[in-house]
Chains A and B, each alone.
Chain A
């Protein structure tokens, strides 16, 4: 698509940046909640292009990073008890309380990596004598893909360890952190493709927080920042949509209905952040037979989310940047990660490390 290149056009970028400079009076801190936004911002060096009085921080937008150690421990327990675990690539290196799925594999656990949930179904069909569990992670973007496979009646030897999480409750958590002082949200485009604009209405209504849904090209992010500044200048707070090519007001209703049929919303634990109300999903009764936790009566002991010294809990709320973690690129590297934020391609620490960031540039 030729539009893609236009959404990276440096000439338009320059114009937007010039506008942000003239609009921004005083200091403003905006927060995104998406690993892909962090990638775009870091990769294109947007923080250095923006005026000094505008900060963009990264919230808990990396689904692998926020996966609690307890849920990795559950998968490890299953793998060591003869069940084959199927999941996405990033997940197997994420530290559980004591070890990772990769280490469980080295100790004889059968762990398979797939690109898509469809592949999990295919593998389970191909090997009917084995028991498979798909460790299903991801935010609203990925949830419908799990729900579709469940509605399609997966084979009997495949159940699901559901570790999905929902983004708006995490955004609300950030607003409750008194000294974070966010002035506006850059809301995640692909999550919004599914959920639409309505779930963000609470931010302007209850918190007077400007919120703009943004796409993932550099100009999308810059224009979203411009739109946020505009709201602030006009003394407004509302939900706006910069990413009209992929997000509609109501979102993907067909996907929402499928999700609603399979799952109910429950409280959920987030790595290093604690329990967030109504932020996770559990099977509705009609589909409980696909629940791996139930089928295998998974029991794990207490868990530990962070290795000593790891600051992921502060990285994930944008309180510090990776270069402020004493372990960053010293003990913790992409080759030997100590925390989930350095494991996942969407983790802030890994994104910064891959771009050779050694100084604080915000």
Chain B
């Protein structure tokens, strides 16, 4: 139920966006809950985009882990 997947925004028309969930699986999602642009990644849950994913934060998380784990 709370499962959400990341998807790339390919095209926006009004409140709906065409997104790529990976492996070329394209679906239409409602984007009323977020402020997004083409090229961004959104977290999709049951046909609605819930959040614009911070890709920088994803990379930083991994980097931070490496640092913490290597330094302690």
List chain A positions with a Cβ less than 8 A from chain B.
1, 3-4, 6-7, 12, 15-16, 19, 34-36, 62-64, 88, 90, 115-119, 137-139, 141-142, 144-145, 148, 152, 188, 190-191, 193-194, 219, 223, 242, 244-248, 252, 254-255, 258, 344, 346
| Contact in complex: A190, B50 (CB < 8 Å) | yes
A190 and B2: CB pair below 8 A? yes
Contact between chains at A117 and B47 (CB < 8 Å): yes
Cβ-based interface call for B60 (8 A):
yes
Interface size on B, residues (CB 8 A): 32
Kindly identify which residue among A12, A64, A193, A247 contacts B1, using a CB–CB cutoff of 8 Å. Answer: A64
Q: Is the interface of B mostly helix, strand, loop or mixed?
A: mixed
Please, what's the 1-or-0 string for B21-55, where 1 marks a CB less than 8 Å from any CB in chain A? 01000000010111100000101011110110111
Contact A115 B2 (CB under 8 A): no
What's the minimum C-beta distance from B59 to chain A, rounded to whole angstroms?
A: 7
Query: Can you list 21 A-B contacts with CB-CB less than 8 angstroms, sorted by A residue number?
Result: A1-B22, A1-B58, A90-B1, A115-B46, A115-B47, A116-B46, A116-B47, A139-B1, A142-B45, A148-B32, A190-B4, A190-B43, A193-B4, A193-B50, A193-B51, A244-B61, A245-B53, A245-B55, A246-B43, A252-B50, A346-B2
Chain B: residues with CB nearer than 8 A to chain A?
A: 1-4, 6, 22, 30, 32-35, 41, 43, 45-48, 50-51, 53-55, 57-62, 65-66, 69, 72
Chain A CB count within 10 A is highest, among B1, B35, B57, B61, for B1
Contact residues in B for A137 (Cβ distance below 8 Å): 1
Which residues on the B side are within 8 Å of A247 (C-beta)?
A: 51
Known: A19-B72, A63-B1, A190-B4. A245 touches B61 (CB 8 A): yes
